[in-house]
Amino acid sequence: MAYILVALASLVVSALTLFSGFGLGTLLMPVFALFFPVELAIAATAIVHLANNIFKVFLVGRKARLKVVAAFAIPATIAAVIGALCLGYFVDIAPIYSYELFGRSLDLTAVKLTIGILIVIFGLLEIIPFFETIALDSKYIPLGGFLSGFFGGLSGHQGALRTTFLVRLGMPKEEFVGTVVLSAVIVDVFRIAVYGFTFMRLELFSSGDSAIRGLVAAGIIFAFIGSFAGARILKKVTMKFINKVVGVMLIALGFGIAAGVL
C-alpha cells in the first residue's frame, strides 16, 4: 500500500506541478508521513523533489530565459537563507489559534496567515479575467526573487511564491516552465547543500531502514514519469490554461497555509 500511494502521488502531482512550478513537496510529504516519522518524511520528500526538478531541467530547461533565471534566482537564494534564519525569531511566538482536525493538532500563526492570504490573492489574480493582461515589468524581477525567496524561506512554500512572480512576466509557456524549473533547481541545490545534506544523509542512509530508501526510489521514478507526461501535455495546452491551473492551485495552497494545515 505504501508503494502504491507514494507512486500514485508522485506520478499525478509531478505531472501537474510541471505547469504550476510548485506543489510536489507540499503534497508528497504528508504521504511519506503516513508511514514514517516526520523527520524521515521531510528528508525523503526533499530528495524526490530535487531529483525531479533536475530531471525537469533536462526536459524543459533549455527553453528557460537565462537572464530572468539569473536576475531572479540569485536574490531568491540569498533571501531564502535570510528568511530561514529569521524563522527562528518567529518560532517562540504563540499561535493566534489552535485546533484539532482529524486527530491532528494545528496552529494558526501570524506568519502563515499573512502568507496564505497573499497566495490566495495572487491565485485570484490568475483566474479573474480582468487581470489576465497585467504583466510584471522585468525591472522588478530581482525584487520578485528576493521577496519570494525571503517569504519562502520563512514559510517553506517558496515554489508557490516563485510562480506568482514569474507567471506575470508574460513569457511563452515553454519559457515560463523552463525558467521556473531552472530557478527552482538553483535555489533547491543551495538550500539542500546548506541545510539538508547532512540531515538527509544521516536520516536516510544511516537509519538502516531499507523501506524508506525503496519508497524514495519509487517516488523518484514515478515523479520522472509524471514530469515526462506533463512535458508531452505541455505542447497541447495554452498559457491561459497554465494560468488557470496555477491560480486554482495557489488558492487551494493559500487556504491550506492560512488555516495551518500546510
pLDDT tens readout for residues 69-119 = 999 999 998 988 887 777 667 666 778 878 787 777 777 888 778 878 888
SS3 category, 28: helix
Whether 175 and 63 have beta carbons less than 8 Å apart is answered as yes
- Work out whether strand 97-101 and strand 104-108 pair parallel, antiparallel, or are unpaired: antiparallel
pLDDT value at 201 more than 60: no
Most confident range, picked from 29-33, 39-43, 60-64, 257-261: 60-64
Q: Which residue has the higher pLDDT, 48 or 243?
A: 48
**Could you tell me which residues come within 8 angstroms of residue 7 by beta carbon, excluding any fewer than 6 positions away?**
218, 219, 221, 222
Is residue 13 predicted with pLDDT exceeding 80?
A: yes
Among residues 40, 52, 41, 42, which one has the least CA distance to residue 10?
Answer: 52
Number of domains in the chain: 1
**What digits encode the pLDDT tens for the residues 154-175?**
766 777 778 888 888 888 888 9
Residue 124 has pLDDT above 70, yes or no: yes
Please give the helix or strand (H or E) that residue 208 lies within, else none: none
Q: What is the pLDDT of residue 195?
A: 53
- Split at pLDDT 50, 70, 90, the class of 39 is low
Percentage of residues in the chain with pLDDT exceeding 70?
85
Quote the domain boundaries for residue 57: 2-258
Entry pTM: 0.76
- Of the candidates 42, 47, 28, the residue with the CA atom closest to the CA atom of residue 193: 47
Average the pLDDT over 238-262 and give the result.
82
Question: Which pLDDT score is estimated for 179?
Answer: 92
Distances (CA, A) of 260 to 22, 99, 106, 124, 135: 18, 9, 6, 20, 31
**Does residue 205 carry a pLDDT above 70?**
no
Q: 231-257 burial by CB neighbour count: b if 16+ within 10 A, else e?
A: beebeeeebeebbbbbbebbbbbbbbb
User: Taking a C-beta distance cutoff of 8 angstroms, is the pair 53, 28 a contact?
Assistant: no
Contact between 17 and 23 under an 8 Å Cβ cutoff? The reply is yes
Euclidean distance between CA atoms 31 and 238, whole angstroms: 31
The more confidently predicted of residues 123 and 69 is 69
pLDDT given for residue 72 in this prediction: 92
Looking at residue 168, what is its pLDDT? 82
Centroid of chain to Cα 99 = 26
